[in-house]
Homo-oligomer: A and B are copies of this chain.
Amino acid sequence: MTEGTSRIDAFSDGVFAIAITLLILEVRLQHAGVEGSSLWTGLVALWPYYFAFALSFFVILVTWIAHHDLMRLVRATSRPVQLANGCALLYVTFIPFPTAVLAANLGGTEIGTAVAFYCGTFVFGSGAFNLLVAMMARGQLFRPEVDAQTIGRIRRGYRITFMIYVAATLIALVAPWWALALNVAVRLHLLRIRYQLAPSVPRQEAQLTP
């Protein structure tokens, strides 16, 4: 019923690499909406597209790091883990769409709706990662060196991250830029945690929650 994780890792890596590269397809001169003016004006007017591109690139990169940190803790995979991982990948492949919505509305009057939709995607994604961790725990797939306390800490971390994304989605409706800043802050914090802890504590405590 269980097997190693190399196959699922390779497939997931492919999906992450493709999703992160497809983001650029949304950055197009026609989107600048300043036909007739100089090329320079057009390139500058595309700033929301550069911003959304870089932001989603950062989001997918951190999610990829977190995904690998998590997969390294398990010794095997199971059908429920494959399906929960499928949900996580569904979220990753979906990101280019809310990114396009964000870019098209960042400078407009509907920025609140666009950012709420963007953040709502992360709520779904975080839910998928929570499901993935739960399926790993239920199938007792963690490596022997990952003790119960560590697993508890990881699951708590994922639950807190989920609630922060819910909060960011609500904040987006009234203060969209603050919601985006919160999203960046959470991910920078998660990256820093592991970096600071890693030298002195066992590997598995240095876990990232996307």
CA distance A10 to B68 in the complex (A): 12
Q: Does A18 contact B (CB under 8 A)?
A: yes
Q: Is A1 an interface residue (CB 8 A)?
A: yes
With A57-B93, A86-B61, A100-B28 in contact, is A79–B191 under 8 Å at CB?
A: yes
In the bound complex, residues from chain B placing their C-beta under 8 Å from that of A14 are 13-14, 16-18
A11 and B64 form a contact (CB under 8 A): yes
- For chain A, the bracket of interface size reads 35 or more
With contact pairs A29-B101, A38-B113, A39-B101 given, residues A11 and B11 touching in the complex (Cβ less than 8 Å):
no
Which A residues lie at the B interface, using CB under 8 A?
Answer: 1, 7, 10-11, 13-25, 27-29, 38-40, 43, 53-54, 57-58, 61, 64-65, 68, 79-80, 82-83, 86, 89-90, 93-94, 96-97, 100-101, 104-105, 110, 113-114, 117, 191, 194-195, 198-199
Can you report 29 residue pairs joining A to B where beta carbons are below 8 Å apart?
A1-B195, A7-B68, A10-B10, A10-B13, A11-B13, A11-B64, A14-B18, A15-B21, A17-B18, A19-B21, A19-B24, A20-B93, A21-B22, A23-B93, A24-B93, A25-B25, A27-B94, A28-B100, A38-B110, A39-B101, A39-B114, A53-B94, A57-B90, A57-B93, A58-B86, A61-B86, A61-B89, A79-B195, A80-B195
